[in-house]
Every structure is written in structure tokens, then in C-alpha cells.
Amino acid sequence: MKEHIVVLGGGVIGLATAFSLSRRGYEVTILEKTTCGGQASGAAAGMLAPYSEISEDPDPFFTFCLSSLRMFKEWQQDVKHASGIDFEYTESGSLHVVYHESDILALESRIAWQKQFGSEAEIVDHNRLKALEPNLSDDVVAAIHSNEESHVFAPDYVIALKTACENNGVNIYENTGSITVESWISSLVLKTEEGASFTGDRLVICSGAWSNELEETFDIRIPVFPIRGQICAYELGQEKVNHILTSSQGYLVPKENGTLVNGASEDIAGFSTTVTEKGISRLVNWNKRMLPFLERKTPFHTWAGLRPATQDGFPLLGSLEEHPHIIFATGHYRNGILLSAKTGEAVADIVSGTGLDPETARAFHPERFS
């Protein structure tokens, strides 16, 4: 009989995990309290951008992110093939811009360590930048141009993943209300708020910003907490933007559907996904510095999501030492879309017995805080 894996949470991490497990032949069930992709995952800007995201020296998190980026070309083809749905995977490259000559030194040291990882990124001066991105502000003095970074349209990506899972035979239960773990040591039983129960052989916890609710159940520390991200989008109209544009204060991502995503704030607001005037106006003011034509535009859409942050900035990925049938895959903070490919395959490796490489296993161990 096939082993039955229950995945708690139908965000991008739960869906990617279920997709990887199902194509390796496992029976998989996803339990989602609201709708798949309805929380942080559907709210994301969709950047696959480890170089732009991680500015300091490389660590196991950076190498995990880079490895996911390099898997993405094949992964997105697999998801597209299994779902029949396109989600605007775009190899646009990125420009990380600075406004002061004195910041070029920081760009040089950043690019020096990136090159050790095979990056072909280079620093481009103002004149070359104008050719690459004609609408960029004259205030920009230089940028790191990285060809490798790309992006997807996150709302469509989660739909594609869900459809791929369904086509692979994954059982998906949505709108279950908050699921609780009734028993897990000798047998695994999960319950909905209305009392319906689900059983399985193994549990993968992909409950994002809500993962901390399971601390008492498993008697370990799970320091995952929600960081609100407010974000907005413009209609582009005649203006063209070719690359992901990032600065130390925010980013702009041009989408194939003619919109420009402008993100994103980071604030603590509990589990509120309310959009505030202050949060959005800050973004608008920061990011129009990169593209002055935004001065004439107003966002047509604003929204927010809850990033699952952890105490040390690394995700929780791996199984409990004494109970290997309980696996954590949560706490992906700002990079869950990027990390979906690598995480899905990593969980499938854990379940099938291959496991993680020792450095990743140690750095992301789910019991490291206990």
C-alpha cells in the first residue's frame, strides 16, 4: 500500500510539497483552513531573486535559495506540463540600483562573493543602464545587473500548483477551518473544527505564519511569527519596464499582464492583513525614485499578506529526531515562492529516505530552538 502523507496548509510550500510527493508516487492529502494560496503565497510579488534579496555574506539560506533558483526553469516546466496553466515565468534579469557614488563600493563587495557562486552579474554604470532600462531615473548612478533572476505571477503560480496536484491525484480539502492535531505519536489523527477526522502515515507542517500554534502539540519551540507585507500595483500603459528593479528600500516587478508590482512594506500587525495609507504611501514615495514616470500614476490595486518569519531568519525544514514521521517545512519569510521548488523536492527526499545534505539539515533543523 502507498504511504499516505498529510500536508497541513495549502500555501505555495504545502502545494509544492504535495506536487513533489505525488509525482514520486505517494498518496497525498492537503488540509487547508481557507483556500489554497489564499494567504501569503497569493499575495507575493513572485520574484525569484536571491542575489537581490540577500545582500550580506552567503550562508546556508543563500545557497538554498540559489539552488532553488537554478532548479526553477525545469520545475516551472513540470508544473506547467502537469497543470496546463501558464504563470508568466519570466527571465527578465534584475537591476539592483544605488543613488550615490559611495555605494558603488558596497556593490563591488556584494558582486565579489556572488561570483564565487557562479554569478555572471556585473556592475553597470549610468550610461549603460539607460540602454538597459530607458525609464530609469537620472539619480541612479550604478546597478548590479543580474541575468539569472526571474519572476512568476504568484496568484497564477499557486493555481497552477493546485491544479497540478489535483491532476496527480492529491486529495485537497479547503475551507476546513483551523485543523488541530488530535494525536501523532502512535497514530496520526487530525481534526477539523466541525469534528471530521483525517489520518495518515506522516504529517508535513506547511502552515506558514500560523505554525507557532502547534508549539504545545509537539512540545517544541516554533518561533515563527507573521510580518505583514503591504504591496500595490500600477497599470503600466505605454511605459516599458524590462527588469526587476530593486533598491535598498523596495522593488518594482513588471508583469506580462501590463502591471507593475511595487513592494513591499515590513511591519508587525499580528494577523491583520489590513492595508494602511502610511504603508502604501511609503512604498509609492520610495519606489518612484527609481522610475520617475510613477509620479504621474496612482496604484490601482493594494493588498497585504503575512510572511512567515523565524527567529534566526532560516526556515524550519526537516523531521523531528524521535518522531521522523513529523516533518516541518515552514518559515520561508520573504522567499517562499523562490524556495517552493527546492522545499518541495527536499521534503520528498526526506520522505523517501534520501534526506537533506548535512549542512542544510543542521541549519534548518526544526528543533534547533528547543
Binding part of the chain for ligand FAD, among 32-40, 111-119, 123-131, 134-142 by CB under 6 A, reads 32-40
Is 341 near ligand FAD (CB under 6 A)?
no
Q: Which stretch binds ligand FAD (CB under 6 A): 39-47, 92-100, 129-137, 358-366?
A: 39-47
Pairwise CA distance, residues 15 & 32, whole Å: 10
- Degrees (nearest 5) of the Cα angle 152, 157, 158? 145
Shortest gap between Cβ of 208 and ligand FAD (angstroms)? 3
Residue number with CB closer to ligand FAD (29 or 114): 29
Alpha-carbon distance values, 57 to 48, 63, 113, 316, 351 (Å): 19, 11, 7, 21, 32
162 binds ligand FAD (CB under 6 A): no
Closest distance to ligand FAD from the beta carbon of 163 (Å): 16
- Determine which residue in the list 337, 341, 350, 351 makes contact with ligand FAD, applying CB under 6 A: 337
| Residues written for the chain | 370
Contact flag: residue 308 with ligand FAD (CB under 6 A): yes
Q: Pick between residue 110 and residue 336 the one whose CB is nearest to ligand FAD.
A: 336
- C-alpha–C-alpha distance, residues 142 and 187, integer Å: 58
Please tell me whether residue 328 binds ligand FAD under the rule CB under 6 A.
no
Q: How far is the CB of 370 from ligand FAD (least distance, A)?
A: 20
Is the CB of 291 or the CB of 304 nearer to ligand FAD?
Answer: 304
The residue with its CB nearest to ligand FAD is: 11
CA 172 to centroid of chain Cα atoms: 21
SS (H, E, C) 148-215: CCEECCHHHHHHHHHHHHHHCCCEEECCCCCCEEEECCCCEEEECCCCCEEEECEEEECCHHHHHHHH
What φ, ψ does residue 159 adopt, rounded to 5°?
A: -65, -40
Residue 125: all three cell numbers together: 554604470
Does the footprint of ligand FAD cover residue 10 (CB under 6 A)?
Answer: yes
Does 272 engage in binding with ligand FAD (CB under 6 A)? no
CA distance 275 to 286: 17
179 binds ligand FAD (CB under 6 A): yes
- Nearest distance in Å: CB 49, ligand FAD: 7
The reply on whether position 202 binds ligand FAD by CB under 6 A is no
Q: Which is nearer to ligand FAD, 141 or 275 (CB)?
A: 275
Q: Which of 5, 11, 6 is nearest to 210 (CA)?
A: 11
Could you tell me if 204 and 5 are in contact, meaning their C-beta atoms sit under 8 angstroms apart? yes
Touching ligand FAD, residues 45-84 (CB under 6 A): 45-47
92: amino acid identity, one letter: S
Distance CA 67, CA 84 (A): 25
Choose, by CB under 6 A, the member of 77, 109, 175, 178 that binds ligand FAD.
178
9 scored as a contact of ligand FAD (CB under 6 A): yes
Residues at the site binding ligand FAD, with contacts judged by CB under 6 A: 8-14, 31-34, 38-41, 43-47, 176, 178-179, 206-210, 229, 231, 263-264, 305, 307-308, 330, 332-338
